[in-house]
Amino acid sequence: MTLKETRFSRDEMEMQYNLRLLRPDYNSAVVPDWEKRSERTRATRKCTLDLAYGDGPDDQMDVFPSDDPRGPILVYFHGGYWQRGDRKIYSFLGEAFVDCGITVVLAGYTLCPATSITGIVGQARAAVAKTILDTDRVPGNRDRLVVGGHSAGGQITGMIMATDFSTVDPALPVAPVSRGMPMSALFDLGPLRDTTINDALSIDDAEVASMSPMQQPPVGNAPQLVIVGGGETEEFHRQSDNYAALYQSPNRPVDRYNSGDDDHFDLLNSLADPASPLFARCRDFILG
């Protein structure tokens, strides 16, 4: 199989991956809008906040239950290059999915440089295990467990798909996740080492190998929907194209989907919009 190679130099990688440079309104408008919408979601929607999945101060998740006790569960991991962001910013993403009978779990994690990407993936595995095992506080059908995430959360999603969960908790099956939905994901960590993003991450060769989903194949044949905004940089398209091409098989459907003209951040606005084609595609994938 021939995968796509990058055509960018080391100096050009910064503009391919440091996406906040392309959105000067990121801090002044984009994030404040998400925060305002999320505050409203938490104030008006049924939810269980700050549910602990581990012993650390960041080992918490927020649960937005649907009215269907047998509906799917979506566990979502936020982005921010593993060094920024908080699950509370993204509460607004749950509304439209909950209205369709999907329980949404927003999982938090410690940020770099206080931890490493390896540490974050360990936290994510614990959050998924907690979701499966805590039937009292996380309603929904464990046979319809979906994991998704955006940007850094997309890398986390890929690593969850590559996890043998019987090693996380012996009470769990090897592959409990029924579907995966990585969005704008970093499937190969290697190119980030040539950017300022790595200043807080300190990714080395060993972590590239162990934490890149491109080098950690899925443990099962769960279908995946690999999403990128149509307006995102070429490197994000290349990474998702390569991941889909590498792991798609007759037994494991891996579909690639471009979301209109969305850039890296507007993708989330489309994801939360029940009238958007992206939301419809994700809803149908989760419910399918």
Q: Which residues pair with 105 in a beta bridge?
A: 63, 75
Q: Which residues pair with 63 in a beta bridge?
A: 48, 105
Please give the average per-residue pLDDT across 211-238, as a whole number. 98
What are the phi and psi torsion angles at 183 (to 5°)?
-125, 130
15 part of a folded domain: no
Structure tokens at 276: 């958007």
- For residue range 263-285, list pLDDT tens digits in order: 999 999 999 999 999 999 999 99
- For residue range 73-126, list pLDDT tens digits in order: 999 999 999 999 999 999 999 999 999 999 999 999 999 999 999 999 999 999
11 part of a folded domain: no
**Statement: residue 16 has pLDDT above 80:** yes
Sheet strands side by side (includes 60-64) = 48-52, 60-64, 103-107, 73-77, 145-150, 179-183, 224-229, 254-259
Q: Strand runs (DSSP E) across 151-186, as ranges?
A: 179-183
Instruction: Work out the angle at residue 219's Cα, subtended by the Cα atoms of residues 213 and 222, and round it to the nearest 5 degrees.
Output: 95
18 part of a folded domain: no
The pTM of this model reads 0.98
Range(s) of the domain holding residue 55: 26-287
> Which residues neighbour 33 within 8 Å (Cβ) at sequence distance 6 or greater?
none
21 part of a folded domain: no
Q: How many domains does the chain have?
A: 1
Supply the pLDDT for residue 1. Answer: 74
> How many helices and strands, by DSSP H and E, does the chain display?
9, 8
- DSSP letter for 28, please: I
Query: Which CATH number is 103's domain given?
Result: 3.40.50.1820
169 part of a folded domain: yes
The pairing of strands 103-107 and 145-150 is unpaired
Residue 213 neighbours by CB distance under 10 Å: 27
CA end-to-end distance (rounded Å), the chain = 30
d(CA 90, CA 102): 16
The pairing of strands 179-183 and 103-107 is unpaired
Q: What percent of the chain has pLDDT over 90?
A: 99
